[in-house]
């Protein structure tokens, strides 16, 4: 059983943003990237299955050199292999096309992604990867049980608004993992240091069969304009003792409701 | 001639979802609206869709759409789009809508725009304004080309407006090949609901990690009860298991627009803000003066939730007693 986990590096702090050089996606001015929260749950869930059934886990990311930090973290947590696609592609269709090719190359049976990235929150890449590979896709998965001998996975997923559903899905497939699926593990500094000694695989889009001019066709949408940050509407700040503050709020509640 | 705009009609718990009707209303306002209704649906579904502007409904009641997830729907909708070439295909930004839109955009090689708050159609292209970074910025994204353009529309972006007419129905066939049955529902789990419905509530009292423990949520319940409102929570709180997932407000939970939203111990991660920013009046109580919640709040209190909320409860009780 081979599990691939798609891990996105997101800006640690969203500082200034700008258009990318091709004008088609936003890039953030940031010193370092961190592993996106729901991807970390996907990674930890995969590693739990490595421990339970001896599955192999490969961590995948797409980005520049700075995003290798994420892969080192994945290796420290217990991933067996790590692959970085060296690309600045930003459109979900481009990203998913490349990730899909990498999954195919790695021959992974089950692909885990997080439900959404904290920077764009489009929740698209998982579904797009699945469709590019013609595999079934389940979104917002809150529990996973791999039935290796049947070649299926039994998952529970959210339907939104607190409703849940249990499903059986054939492998190979793609699951978008919801936060909270398992406890997050901590990778101690010593292990993180050791992980840095491990070799990472790096492939560029050409090596995956997608030179820039072909890849560009996968991008349909175009960002035309970004409005300057709306000046944050600052709240009227209340001062005073809890009694004074409460009295004022009660008054406002009366007006508002 | 008005542009042909299709809306995917979502049925949840035997009802057409409110977001479906919002989107349909918008579609009927700017073009010729038609709906796709797949799987088991309530008896009055066709009438309801007609009431909100659908002139025609593509319909299959086959349970395969309900039992085998999105694969059958993808195949059916793609087939219909290739035959009729609507200008736009609209989905709600719901769990089901996202699944379908993502897959269809690949099948049709069409692209899609997600998180749409508003859109205009002009000169064969669609221009959508979408919030970036949870609404801190607004960007304008366009999708051009001759194919059908797919949009995922955020809940509560448009007002549902009845414009009664009788919709014609065209029966469509469900796909029968086994490849659409790769995923199958084995069980459905109902989640217990407590208190008034979040989406309809006029007052919401919400709690975040700042409450520190599950027991403290009872304070918020008391406050909500006194105000005739509902309680809600952030993702972190439902993940911690303090309250059920049905109470989550945010990008992966519910989108709410109450008259009054009282945020207690909520820092205001974009994930959460995107689900409640539209509230008419927002009151935030948080220890940290730098918390982003104060950027969307109308009234802010930098203070201890455990001192301010009990005081509020006392005052409200006295007022009720008086």
By C-alpha distance, the chain A residue nearest B313 is A246
Query: Distance (Å, rounded) from C-alpha A17 to C-alpha B157?
Result: 26
Does the pLDDT of residue B132 top 70, yes or no?
no
Predicted pLDDT at A219 = 76
pLDDT in tens, A127-151: 999 999 999 999 999 999 999 999 9
Express as a percent the part of chain A with pLDDT over 70.
88
Give the single-character DSSP code of B109. T
Pairing mode, if any, of strands A163-170 and A152-160?
Answer: antiparallel
Closest CA to B254 of B271, B237, B229, B236: B271
Per the prediction, chain B carries an average pLDDT of 89
> What share of residues in chain A are helix, strand, coil (percent, to 5)?
35, 30, 35
Residues B167-187: pLDDT tens digits?
999 999 998 887 777 777 777
pLDDT band at residue B76 under the 50/70/90 scheme: very high
CA distances to A66, A150, B101 from A173, in Å: 29, 14, 18
Rounded Cα gap, residues A90 and A180, in angstroms = 27
A132, A160, A182, A238: best mutation site toward chain B, by most B Cβ within 10 Å?
A: A160
How far is the C-alpha of B32 from the C-alpha of B275, rounded, in Å? 30
- Are B244 and A136 a contacting pair at CB < 8 A? no
| Residue pLDDT, tens place only, B190-249 | 655 555 677 778 899 999 999 999 999 999 999 999 998 999 999 889 888 898 877 889
Nearest chain B alpha carbon to A118: B271
Q: Which residues contact A8 (CB under 8 A, 6 or more apart)?
A: A35, A36, A39, A61, A62, A63, A70, A114, A117, A125
Mean pLDDT is lowest, of A103-107, A204-208, A241-245, B192-196, for B192-196
Which of A92-96, A110-114, A233-237, B145-149 shows the highest mean pLDDT? A110-114
Q: Which whole number is the average pLDDT over A181-210?
A: 92
Whether this model's ipTM surpasses 0.90 comes out as no
Q: Which site among A228, A256, A257 would you substitute to test the B interface, given the most B Cβ atoms closer than 10 Å to its Cβ? A: A256
Question: How far is residue B101's CA from residue B27's CA, in Å, rounded to a whole number?
Answer: 17
- Kindly list the structural domains of chain B, giving each domain's residue range(s) and its CATH number in brackets, ordered by start: 4-181 (3.40.50.620), 203-321 (3.40.50.1220)
Smallest Cβ distance to A167: which of B102, B183, B296? B183
Cβ pair A159:B235 closer than 8 A: no
- What average pLDDT is seen over chain A? 87
Cα–Cα distance, A94 to A87 (Å, whole number): 10
8 A C-beta contact, residue A140 and residue A164: no
CA–CA distance, B239 with A183 (Å, rounded to integer): 10
pLDDT of residue B313: 94
Reply yes or no on whether the pLDDT at A14 is more than 60.
Answer: no
- Over residues B45-52, the mean pLDDT reads 96
Query: Which of A97-106, A168-177, A195-204, A212-221 shows the lowest mean pLDDT across its residues?
Result: A212-221
Query: H helices within A54-188, ranges in order?
Result: 68-77, 92-106, 125-133
Set of chain B residues whose Cβ sits within 8 Å of the Cβ of A115: 252
pLDDT band at B7 (very low <50, low <70, confident <90, very high): very high
Judged by CB atoms closer than 8 Å, whether chains meet at A156 and B186 is answered as: no
Tell me which residue has tokens 């803000």.
B273
Proportion of chain B above pLDDT 90, given as a percent: 57
- Is B297 close to A160, i.e. CB distance below 8 A? no
Gyration radius (Cα) of chain A, Å? 21
Task: List all residues 6 or more positions away from A173 whose beta carbon is below 8 Å from its beta carbon.
Answer: A110, A111, A130, A135, A136, A137, A138, A153, B182, B183
Is there a contact between A257 and B284 if contact means CB atoms under 8 Å apart? no
Split at pLDDT 50, 70, 90, the class of A227 is low
Nearest Cα residue in chain A from B113: A221
Q: Which of B183, B186, B303 to mutate to test the interface with A (most CBs of A within 10 A)?
A: B183
pLDDT at A232 over 60: no
pLDDT tens digits, one per residue of A159-183: 766 677 888 999 999 999 998 898 8
Taking CB atoms and an 8 Å limit, are A222 and B284 in contact across chains? no
Predicted confidence (pLDDT) per residue in B240-296, tens digit = 889 887 788 987 778 888 999 999 999 998 879 888 988 889 999 999 998 989 988
Contacts of B314 in chain A (CB under 8 A): 246
Mutate to test the interface with B, among A127, A154, A175 (most CBs of B within 10 A): A127
pLDDT confidence of A221, banded at 50, 70, 90? confident
Q: What is the model's pLDDT at position A222? A: 78
Token pair for B134: 């949870």
The DSSP letter of residue B254 is: B
Estimate the crossing angle of helix A92-106 against helix A125-133, to 10 degrees. Answer: 50
Calculate the dihedral angle through the C-alpha atoms of B32, B36, B40, B44, rounding to the nearest 10 degrees. Answer: 0
**B55 three-class SS:** coil
The residue of chain B nearest to residue A237, with distances taken between CA atoms, is: B300
Per-residue model confidence (pLDDT) at position B48: 96
Mapped onto helix, strand or coil, the DSSP state of residue B131 is: strand
Sheet architecture: strand order including B125-132? A221-226, B137-143, B125-132, B118-122
Closest CA to A37 of A55, A12, A62: A12
A/B interface, count of CB pairs below 8 Å: 243
Q: Which two three-digit tokens encode residue A231?
A: 């000046």
pLDDT confidence tier of residue A27, bands split at 50, 70 and 90: low
Residue B254 is predicted with a pLDDT of 80
Q: Which region among B39-43, B151-155, B198-202 has the lowest average model confidence (pLDDT)?
A: B198-202
A84 sits in which H/E element: strand A81-85
**DSSP code, position B175:** P
Taken in order A49, A52, A55, A60, the sign of the CA dihedral is: positive
Return the closest-CA partner of residue B266 out of B245, B297, B244: B297
Residue B180 tokens, joined: 């659409």
Q: φ and ψ at B102, to 5 degrees?
A: -60, -50
Contact (Cβ atoms closer than 8 angstroms) between residue B260 and residue B297: no
Query: What percent of chain A lies above the pLDDT cut of 90?
Result: 54
Instruction: Report the largest interatomic distance among the alpha carbons of chain B, rounded to a whole angstrom.
Output: 69
Which of the residue ranges A66-75, A159-168, B64-73 would you say has the lowest mean pLDDT? A159-168
DSSP state of B297: -
pLDDT at position B196 is: 63
CA distance B315 to chain A (A): 7
- With contacts defined as CB-CB under 8 Å, which chain B residues touch A131? 74, 102-103, 106-107
Overall size of chain A counted in residues: 257
Query: Residues of A with CB below 8 A from B299's CB?
Result: 235-236, 238, 249, 252
Query: Which range has the worst mean pLDDT, A14-28, B101-115, B133-147?
Result: A14-28
What's the pLDDT score for residue B70? 83
Residue A24: closest CA among chain B residues belongs to which residue? B141
Q: For B284-306, b where at least 16 C-beta lie within 10 A, e where not — what string?
A: bbbeeeebbbbbbbbbbbbbebb
- Confidence check: pLDDT of B138 > 90: no
* Helical residues (DSSP H) of chain B, grouped into ranges: 18-30, 45-51, 64-67, 70-84, 95-107, 217-226, 235-239, 270-276, 293-296, 305-321
Instruction: Give the separation between CA B85 and CA B64, rounded to whole angstroms.
Output: 25
Least confident residue range of A97-106, A230-239, B90-99, B160-169: A230-239
- Which residues neighbour A233 within 8 Å (Cβ) at sequence distance 6 or greater? B295, B296, B298
Enumerate domains of chain A plus CATH numbers. Answer: 2-232 (3.40.50.620)
* pLDDT winner (highest mean) among B39-53, B99-113, B122-136, B194-208: B39-53
Question: Using a CB cutoff of 8 Å and minimum separation of 24, what contacts does A235-239 make?
Answer: A235/B282, A235/B284, A235/B294, A235/B295, A235/B297, A235/B298, A235/B299, A235/B300, A236/B298, A236/B299, A236/B300, A237/B289, A237/B294, A237/B300, A237/B301, A237/B302, A238/B299, A238/B300, A238/B301
Which of A169, A214, A231, A235 is most worth mutating to test chain B (most B CB atoms within 10 A of its CB)?
A235
CA B279 to CA B256: how far, in whole Å?
A: 7
Q: Are B252 and A178 in contact (CB under 8 A)?
A: yes
**Subunit contact A124:B98, Cβ cutoff 8 A:** yes
Contact B70 A173 (CB under 8 A): no
Residue A98 has a pLDDT of 96
The yes-or-no verdict on residue A231 having pLDDT over 60 is no
Determine if the peptide bond prior to B222 is cis (ω within 30°). no
The pTM score is 0.80
Interface touch B94/A160, C-beta < 8 Å: yes
Look at B171 and B136; give whichever has higher pLDDT: B171
Q: Which residue of B has its CA nearest to A137?
A: B99
CB contact under 8 A, B143 and A137: no
| Cross-chain Cβ contact A227/B189 below 8 Å | no
pLDDT of residue B195: 58
Partner-chain contact A221 B111, CB within 8 Å: yes
């Amino acid at each position: 059983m081979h599990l691939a986990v798609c891990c996105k590096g997101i800006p640690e702090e969203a500082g200034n943003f700008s258009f990318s050089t091709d004008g088609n996606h936003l890039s953030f001015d940031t010193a370092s990237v961190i592993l996106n929260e729901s991807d970390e749950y996907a990674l930890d869930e995969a590693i739990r299955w490595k421990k339970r059934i001896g599955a192999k886990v490969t961590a995948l990311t797409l980005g520049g050199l700075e995003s290798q930090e994420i892969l080192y973290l994945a290796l420290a947590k217990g991933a067996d292999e790590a692959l970085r696609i060296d690309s600045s592609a930003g459109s979900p269709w481009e990203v998913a096309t490349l990730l899909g090719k990498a999954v195919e190359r790695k021959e992974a049976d089950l692909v885990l992604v997080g439900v959404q990235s904290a920077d764009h929150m489009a929740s698209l890449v998982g579904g797009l990867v699945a469709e590019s590979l013609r595999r079934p896709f389940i979104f917002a998965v809150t529990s996973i049980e791999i039935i290796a001998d049947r070649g299926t996975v039994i998952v529970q997923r959210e339907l939104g608004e607190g409703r849940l559903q249990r499903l059986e899905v054939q492998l190979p497939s793609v699951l978008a993992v919801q936060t909270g699926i398992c406890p997050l593990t901590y990778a101690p500094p010593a292990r993180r240091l050791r992980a840095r000694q491990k070799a990472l695989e790096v492939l560029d889009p050409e090596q995956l069969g997608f030179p820039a001019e072909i890849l560009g066709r996968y991008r349909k949408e175009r960002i035309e304009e970004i409005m300057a940050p709306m000046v944050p509407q600052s709240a009227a700040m209340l001062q005073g003792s809890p009694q004074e503050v409460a009295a004022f709020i009660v008054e406002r509640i009366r007006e508002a409701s | 001639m008005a542009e042909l705009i299709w809306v995917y009609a979502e049925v949840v718990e035997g009802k057409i979802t409110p977001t479906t009707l919002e989107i349909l209303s918008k579609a009927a306002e700017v073009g010729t609206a038609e709906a796709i209704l797949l799987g088991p649906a309530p008896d009055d579904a066709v009438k309801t869709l007609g009431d909100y502007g659908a002139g025609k409904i593509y319909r299959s009641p086959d349970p395969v759409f309900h039992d085998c997830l999105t694969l059958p729907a993808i195949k059916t909708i793609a087939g219909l789009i290739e035959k009729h070439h609507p200008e736009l295909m609209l989905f709600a930004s719901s769990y089901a809508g996202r699944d379908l839109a993502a897959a269809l955009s690949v099948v049709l090689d069409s692209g899609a725009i997600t998180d749409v708050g508003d859109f205009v159609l002009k000169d064969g292209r669609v221009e959508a304004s979408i919030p970036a970074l949870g609404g801190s910025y607004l960007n304008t994204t366009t999708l051009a080309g001759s194919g059908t353009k797919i949009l995922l529309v955020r809940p509560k972006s448009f007002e549902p407006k009845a414009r009664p007419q009788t919709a014609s129905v065209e029966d469509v066939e469900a796909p029968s090949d086994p490849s659409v049955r790769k995923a199958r529902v084995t069980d459905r789990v109902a989640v217990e609901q407590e208190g008034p419905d979040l989406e309809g509530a006029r007052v919401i009292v919400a709690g975040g990690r700042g409450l520190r423990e599950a027991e403290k949520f009872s304070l918020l319940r008391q406050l909500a009860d006194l105000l005739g409102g509902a309680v809600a929570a952030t993702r972190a709180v439902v993940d911690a298991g303090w309250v059920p997932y049905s109470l989550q407000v945010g990008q992966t939970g519910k989108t709410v627009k109450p008259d009054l939203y009282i945020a207690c111990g909520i820092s205001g991660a974009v994930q959460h803000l995107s689900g409640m920013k539209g509230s008419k009046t927002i009151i935030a109580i948080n220890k940290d003066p730098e918390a982003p919640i104060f950027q969307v709040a109308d009234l802010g209190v930098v203070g201890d939730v455990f001192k301010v909320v009990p005081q509020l409860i006392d005052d409200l009780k006295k007022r009720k007693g008086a």
